[in-house]
Amino acid sequence: MPTVTPKTAGPDMSSPKTQILAALRRASWISGQALADAAGISRAAIWKHIHALRREGYTIQASSGRGYRLEHAPDHLSPEGVHAGLQTELLGRNLICRRSIDSTQNLAKSLGRQGAPEGTAVLAENQTQGRGRRGRSWASIPHGVAVSLILRPKTSPDKAPHFPLLAGTALARAVSRVCGIWPGLKWPNDLLISGRKVIGILAELEAEMDRISAIYLGIGLNINAEAEDIPPDLASVATSLRIQAGRKIDRLDLVRALLEELEAAYYAYRLQGFGPIREAWKEHNITLGRQVRISSGREIITGTAVDINEDGALRVRTEEQELVTVSAGDVQLCPAV
């Protein structure tokens, strides 16, 4: 699966403010005229936008000889902040950012049902009723991000299980790009570091008999929480990228990398199918070769995880040497002996 290579963007939907931010981010100092050229507006209008950005929390230095310099960008999520420098043509181009929301999945679904375009992304800093897999709730750990994306793949509903694995591999790449650490993939779609979860993925499907109308890809990222921010009941199972990388992570950089890597993986899937995703998932997995205990509905399966098949299902060799295929469930990795 290819990593993302910056491409010439498709239709340019960036506002002047986004263009100004992107230009400020690229240069250490940039003249007013160069900003005006980048944004396609007059120099007088640049000054108005600089003021607006300062009111939003950006610290921008101005010097008569050198022009402008972005000293500090606020860490909160905004369409302008995410779009500045974003190298996608589909994912995140239509973008909604909220400080707090019940669940990004709920808003994405309601927008999707009203016909929102493929690639629409809903981002929130906090969720009051976040949803996890298998009917569980998902707690918002402070300083993280919740993301929901609308995908409309032209494929049949039986291919839906490919998407959480596709997302897992793309997210592992995004984390390694921005944070310099590789999370391990636990089947089907948890990203763990040091045995604790940093990212959870929930894929929900809306389909007719033979075609998918939408996949809502929900991603919960534990980014900048410090140890004391993690609720005690989650401390043994959850961690954050900041704790693991040993430094604060730029959330906007991570969101951009997430959208870019997901788009690259999605395009590769549309061209080449699940094969390359399956290989990439296997490369970064921490499940295969391990003793596992899987609860799927009322059944518990124990054995050694040996492979994932072309449907993304897990193949497990039981203690009775029987090879079973598990298409959904919660995997517990047993301690290595």
List all residues 6 or more positions away from 292 whose beta carbon is below 8 Å from its beta carbon. 301, 302, 303, 304, 305, 314, 316, 331, 332, 333, 334
Interface mask toward ligand BTN for 176-195; x: CB under 6 A: --------------x-----
The torsion of the CA quartet 262, 268, 269, 271, rounded to 10 degrees, works out to 150
Q: Which is nearer to ligand BTN, 53 or 219 (CB)?
A: 219
Q: Which is nearer to ligand BTN, 183 or 200 (CB)?
A: 200
Q: Which is nearer to ligand BTN, 103 or 169 (CB)?
A: 103
204/168 Cα distance (integer angstroms):
15
CA distances from 143 to 42, 69, 77, 222, 226 (A): 37, 26, 11, 7, 9
Q: Which is nearer to ligand BTN, 73 or 201 (CB)?
A: 201
Q: Give the SS3 label for residue 102.
A: coil
* Strands lying side by side in the sheet with 299-308: 323-326, 314-318, 299-308, 291-296, 330-333
Maximum C-alpha span of the chain = 78
Q: Are 256 and 85 in contact (CB under 8 A)?
A: yes
The minimum distance between CB 82 and ligand BTN, in angstroms, equals 15
Among 112, 220, 303, 329, binds ligand BTN (CB under 6 A): 220
251 binds ligand BTN per the rule CB under 6 A: no
Contacts of ligand BTN in 102-161 (CB under 6 A): 103-105, 127, 130-133, 136, 138, 146-148
Q: Which is nearer to ligand BTN, 200 or 329 (CB)?
A: 200
The minimum distance between CB 311 and ligand BTN, in angstroms, equals 20
Among 77, 202, 230, 249, binds ligand BTN (CB under 6 A): 202
The minimum distance between CB 90 and ligand BTN, in angstroms, equals 19
CA distances from 11 to 50, 51, 87, 124, 198 (A): 25, 28, 12, 26, 34
219 binds ligand BTN per the rule CB under 6 A: yes
Structural tokens at position 269: 């899937």
The minimum distance between CB 170 and ligand BTN, in angstroms, equals 15
Structural tokens at position 82: 């995410």
The minimum distance between CB 58 and ligand BTN, in angstroms, equals 27
258 binds ligand BTN per the rule CB under 6 A: no
Among 16, 112, 168, 200, binds ligand BTN (CB under 6 A): 200
Number of residues that bind ligand BTN (CB under 6 A): 20
Q: Which is nearer to ligand BTN, 46 or 202 (CB)?
A: 202
Q: Are 323 and 317 in contact (CB under 8 A)?
A: yes
Q: Which stretch binds ligand BTN (CB under 6 A): 98-106, 166-174, 241-249, 282-290?
A: 98-106
Structural tokens at position 255: 């969101």
The minimum distance between CB 222 and ligand BTN, in angstroms, equals 10
Structural tokens at position 32: 């007013």
Q: Give the SS3 label for residue 32.
A: helix
User: Which residues contact ligand BTN by CB under 6 A?
Assistant: 103-105, 127, 130-133, 136, 138, 146-148, 190, 200-202, 218-220
